[in-house]
Chains A and B, each alone.
Chain A
Amino acid sequence: MISYDIVVIGGGPAGLAAAIEARNYGVKKILVLERDKELGGILQQCIHNGFGLHIFKEELTGPEYAERFITELKSLKIDYKINTMVLTITKDKTIHAVNPKDGYMVIQAKAIVLAMGCRERTAGAISIPGTRPSGVFTAGTAQRYINVEGYMVGRRVVILGSGDIGLIMARRMTLEGAKVLCVVELMPFSGGLTRNIVQCLNDFDIPLYLSHTVTNIKGKDRVEGVTIARVDENRLPIPGTEIDYDCDTLLLSIGLIPENELTVKAGAQIDMRTNGPVVNESMETTISGVFACGNVVHVHDLVDFVTEESRRAGRSAAKYVQKKLVEDGNEFKIEALNGISYIIPQTVRIDNVDKSLDLYLRVRNVYDRVKLVIKADQETIKEINKRHMAPGEMEHIVLSKDLLQEKSFERLTIEVKEGI
């Protein structure tokens, strides 16, 4: 059997950062397993710029951001295997994987870092009425066809969903000569970053229809048109508001789902709100020594935050291998209350917190001039004024260890307080 100190599953931004950080913390035997033909993950097809503003203070393209980490991984002589599919991982941290060169492998690890990322929700997930012709793509699939494979996917395009990939593809397809007729969003607000609405839609006069959805797809072999309609407050189409578009392509940018088949099979607890594993302050799942980071835990909007989170996971995995991670001691739970859809991490062992605890959360609605109220059991320990919050923009909160150690408590809650 092959054995390693740390095996990282996934060679995208999360896996790369975790592996590099673990090496920098003194772990020698590290292996990264990647199923694609090269490292870098989805960044390789994200050819637009805007990556790295927080980490490098520069605006890089996806491939540039990836290459910095790939170069570092190689210079640190960290082992990696490409074209390698992990089939299963077990509670005792053996990994079953297969690739064309090594065949079937069983690898024993002291610690595992899960960094499998996420995948797109497809047409099947939202049951659009109408026929099932070719020409319906998820935005990321279209992105891969155009940017990596060099195929144009269509000429007249409607995009459903205003997630960032949809917005980015509206611009990309326009630049490549397609006519993007509109972007249609079910919710009354966009799920994408403001920057992308301005630079991808407004720059090219592409209309964004909020509170609208696609109600029909027409065409037998190829998409010939779609119908959109306004929706009411229950997100149901309002009869009489339909607009028909002649188009040959429908792109879907309707959300991302963390890819956790391996995590579930290994027996780690999943949070129904994030669709990712429950993690503690060290990004450790409910299986001791199995860590997770990046979009497999919760879907991020900026890769910079993936990098930060993954460094924490890599550092923690290193500490685990070196037996420096405190496995018992005081623990408290973190819960999302009014207005918050989720908070990462879900549990905290205070002994493993360095100087401060980083929390990442998303709100359910667009809020202006509100407070985030943080309570330890029933007592308010901190209030943060927020000028603006939106579901599309992840919030980052830092709590000092001193604040958390004043009293012992079991439950930390965060809620949105309106009307201030």
Chain B
Amino acid sequence: MNKQELICINCPIGCHLEVTKTDQGLKVSGNQCKRGEIYAVNEITAPSRVLTSTVRVNSSFLRRLPVRTNKPIPKSMIFQAMEIIDKIVVNTPITIGDVITDNLMRTGVDLIASRSLSE
């Protein structure tokens, strides 16, 4: 891969960026501002995303508890993380922000509850 195309997501303009690998490092073109360059370099070198999903919950009120990672995890680990999340069952009461699984796949990132659930 010497050249890769991306769409910048920092603002609604959505610049079409082109990242080229050169001997001097990564070169970004097509961006109209500095933020586009930072975004492109991050996307090429270490793309990561906050993952949101649900886990099963023993509750009289809801069948699924929404959860998310408290920080972005590497994009390449998303499906592996989904397999782990698939097997989790939790009990109430739950307070928003409660850690459901700590240090998910040794990334240092925790899976946390994104809502409270009393019963």
Q: A residues bordering B, Cβ < 8 Å? A: 37-38, 44, 47-49, 59-64, 66-67, 146-150, 175-177, 193-195, 197-199, 202-203, 387-388, 390, 393
- Residue from A37, A175, A202, A393 within 8 A of B82 (CB atoms): A175
Nearest B residue to A392 via CB reads B12
B64 in contact with A148 (CB, 8 Å): yes
B62-100 residues at the A interface, CB under 8 angstroms: 62-64, 66, 68, 75, 78-79, 82, 96
Q: Which of chain A's residues have a CB closer than 8 A to the CB of B63?
A: 148-150
B114 in contact with A61 (CB, 8 Å): yes
- How many positions in chain B have a CB within 8 Å of any CB in the partner chain? 28
B54 in contact with A47 (CB, 8 Å): yes
Q: Which of chain A's residues have a CB closer than 8 A to the CB of B75?
A: 203
**Contact status of A197 and B7, CB under 8 A, knowing A150-B54, A150-B63:** yes
Q: How far is the CA of A86 from the CA of B12 in the complex (A)?
A: 38
Nearest A residue to B7 via CB reads A198
B1-25 residues at the A interface, CB under 8 angstroms: 6-7, 9, 12-14
B49 in contact with A203 (CB, 8 Å): yes
Closest approach, in angstroms, between the C-beta of B28 and any C-beta of chain A? Answer: 16
Q: Is B103 an interface residue (CB 8 A)?
A: no
Q: Is B115 an interface residue (CB 8 A)?
A: yes
Q: Which of chain B's residues have a CB closer than 8 A to the CB of A60?
A: 114
B62 in contact with A198 (CB, 8 Å): no
Q: B residues bordering A, Cβ < 8 Å? A: 6-7, 9, 12-14, 32, 49-54, 56, 61-64, 66, 68, 75, 78-79, 82, 96, 114-116
**Contact status of A175 and B53, CB under 8 A, knowing A63-B115, A64-B96:** yes
Q: Which of chain B's residues have a CB closer than 8 A to the CB of A62?
A: 66
Chain B CB within 10 A, most for which of A146, A175, A193: A175
Closest approach, in angstroms, between the C-beta of B103 and any C-beta of chain A? Answer: 20
Q: Which of chain B's residues have a CB closer than 8 A to the CB of A176?
A: 53, 82
A388 in contact with B66 (CB, 8 Å): no
- Residue from A61, A150, A197 within 8 A of B52 (CB atoms): A61
B7 in contact with A194 (CB, 8 Å): yes
Apart from A47-B68, A177-B82, A195-B9, 13 more pairs, CB < 8 Å: A37-B61, A44-B115, A47-B114, A49-B50, A62-B66, A150-B54, A175-B79, A176-B53, A193-B12, A194-B12, A203-B75, A388-B12, A390-B12
Q: Which of chain B's residues have a CB closer than 8 A to the CB of A64?
A: 96, 114-115
Q: How far is the CA of A198 from the CA of B75 in the complex (A)?
A: 13
Q: Which of chain B's residues have a CB closer than 8 A to the CB of A47?
A: 52-54, 66, 68, 114
Nearest A residue to B12 via CB reads A393
A-B contact pairs, 11 of them (CB 8 A): A47-B114, A49-B52, A60-B114, A63-B66, A147-B64, A149-B64, A150-B63, A177-B82, A203-B49, A388-B13, A388-B14
